[in-house]
A and B are shown apart, each in its own frame.
Chain A
Amino acid sequence: MHEMSLAQGVLDILRDTARKQGFSRVKTVWLEIGALAGVDPEAIRFCFDAVTRDTLADGAGLDIIPIPGQAWCMQCSQAVTIAARMEPCPVCGGYRLQVTGGEEMRVKELQVE
């Protein structure tokens, strides 16, 4: 979904940070992408390469740090890890899950020069 918008959002953050921190080239970008963020890491990669062409991040490496999906199961009252939104609780098999983590999409860090 909408990975091109997101890649553009990453580029906006790179440009903004370059202005504030005074660098002209981005060599590597670390992105944190949650398992429940609704984005496809491969599509992000493809779009990132496309939007950064001829910019300060042309040819930059993109390192995606996956963040596991976390939920609180209301039936068995414990924190569990899930890989997708429609997955049942791995312990009790129920669906009363409150997502608590794994929805993030963040630019974590940059290697620049």
Chain B
Amino acid sequence: MCTVCGCGTGEEAVHTHDHGHAHDHSHAHEGHAGTGYRPVAGGALHFGLGPAGAHVGGMSQQRLVQVERDILGKNNGYAERNRQRLAGHEVFALNLVSSPGSGKTTLLTHTIERMKGELPIAVIEGDQQTSFDADRIRATGVPAIQINTGKGCHLDAHMVGHALEQLPPLDRGLLLIENVGNLVCPAAFDLGEAHKVAILSVTEGEDKPLKYPDMFHAASLMILNKIDLLPYVRFDVEKCIDYARRVNPDIEVILLSAQSGEGMEQWLAWIRREWQAQQRTVSAPEREPA
């Protein structure tokens, strides 16, 4: 089993959602069966539902502790730190997410070739193993840090924070984060980016936005890549866009082929537009009179 995401084999495979018994877990709350509290509607705990309609305190050393903490709070804290650090240098960061093989790295190298004369660029590459992708990026002449997640299935904000420490300063530039190829887990992890960009190639199914709704919901932009292959594959572009908008009514869509260059200008224009929009938001408070 994957030690990070829990997806995989073994017991997990047996533990599907199709098994017959319901999970009402009446065994829960060991240690106070019948006399204590019970969660009621709204997530509250009711202490007056025991046989005597009362709860006697001080009879045991057990106690309740209110926690109310987000499970992803730690990651979100690191992400906020990354975001502030990037904003301090006026860096525009994108988190590129997709399945393996959608053409992310090729899209990145072609994007860098076209934009590197315009603004400083750096790349953080996430893969389970190897530095093949970072090597391909460095061949374009821009700095790249490879993060190997080992068994991990996604980048988290803590890893990205360390990668930022390794990168040379990037003032008023573009940071491209290529996440681990995986349409599931990276959806939940904020890295401190301005936007998630989901890349889907036309050699995959057009129904992926419905199969992996969390990712397409989290993304601001969907890139349909490899459109030069459309004449050879059965891929319904309109249906795909319709599916994506079902899970995210506001998602923008760009059709392109990194290989042939078709649609690349539209993608670069999107980056410039969003980068400028971020600069305006960041600098707006500074313009306000003190």
Interface membership of A112, Cβ < 8 A: yes
Contacts of B17 in A (CB 8 A): 40, 42
Interface membership of A81, Cβ < 8 A: no
Task: Give Cα A40 to B214, complex, Å.
Answer: 13
Task: Give Cα A21 to B75, complex, Å.
Answer: 23
Please, how many residues of chain A have a CB less than 8 angstroms from a CB on the other chain?
A: 52
What string of 1s and 0s marks CB contacts (under 8 Å) between A4-17 and chain B?
A: 11110110110001
Q: Please, which residue of chain A has its CB at the minimum distance from the CB of B248? A: A85
Interface membership of A106, Cβ < 8 A: yes
Query: Do residues A95 and B23 form an inter-chain contact, with CB atoms below 8 A?
Result: no
Q: Give the most central of B39, B67, B73, B74: most A CB within 10 Å.
A: B67
* Min CB–CB distance B63 → chain A (angstroms): 6
Q: Given A32-B43, A46-B12, A65-B39, A111 and B67 touching (CB < 8 A)? A: no
Query: Do residues A2 and B188 form an inter-chain contact, with CB atoms below 8 A?
Result: yes
- Name the one of A5, A30, A42, A67 contacting B23, with C-beta atoms under 8 angstroms: A42
Query: Do residues B71 and A105 form an inter-chain contact, with CB atoms below 8 A?
Result: yes
Interface membership of B72, Cβ < 8 A: yes
Interface of chain B residues 222 through 244 with chain A (CB within 8 A): 243
Task: Give Cα A97 to B65, complex, Å.
Answer: 36
Contacts of B170 in A (CB 8 A): none
Interface of chain B residues 176 through 205 with chain A (CB within 8 A): 184-185, 187-189
Q: Please, which residue of chain B has its CB at the minimum distance from the CB of A60? A: B30
Query: Do residues B153 and A2 form an inter-chain contact, with CB atoms below 8 A?
Result: yes
Category for how many chain B residues contact A: 35 or more
Interface of chain A residues 76 through 103 with chain B (CB within 8 A): 84-86, 88, 95-99
- Name the one of B29, B62, B63, B247 contacting A61, with C-beta atoms under 8 angstroms: B29
Query: Do residues A106 and B29 form an inter-chain contact, with CB atoms below 8 A?
Result: no
Q: Given A63-B29, A85-B217, A5 and B5 touching (CB < 8 A)? A: yes
Query: Do residues B67 and A110 form an inter-chain contact, with CB atoms below 8 A?
Result: yes
Contacts of A108 in B (CB 8 A): 43, 66-68
Interface membership of B139, Cβ < 8 A: no
Interface membership of B3, Cβ < 8 A: yes
Contacts of A58 in B (CB 8 A): none
* Min CB–CB distance B154 → chain A (angstroms): 6
Q: Give the most central of A39, A65, A108: most B CB within 10 Å.
A: A108
- Name the one of B12, B30, B43, B188 contacting A38, with C-beta atoms under 8 angstroms: B188
Task: Give Cα A74 to B70, complex, Å.
Answer: 28
Query: Do residues A109 and B72 form an inter-chain contact, with CB atoms below 8 A?
Result: no
Q: List 20 A-B contacts (CB under 8 A).
A: A1-B5, A2-B153, A2-B184, A2-B189, A5-B4, A13-B71, A13-B73, A46-B6, A46-B15, A63-B25, A65-B43, A74-B249, A84-B213, A86-B243, A95-B246, A105-B70, A107-B69, A110-B67, A111-B31, A113-B62
Residues of A within 8 A of B (CB): 1-7, 9-10, 12-13, 17, 21, 23, 27-28, 30-32, 38-43, 46-47, 61-63, 65, 67, 74, 84-86, 88, 95-99, 104-113
Not counting A46-B11, A46-B12, a sample of 8 additional A-B residue pairs whose C-beta atoms are within 8 angstroms of each other reads A5-B5, A28-B28, A30-B39, A30-B45, A84-B213, A106-B68, A106-B69, A113-B61
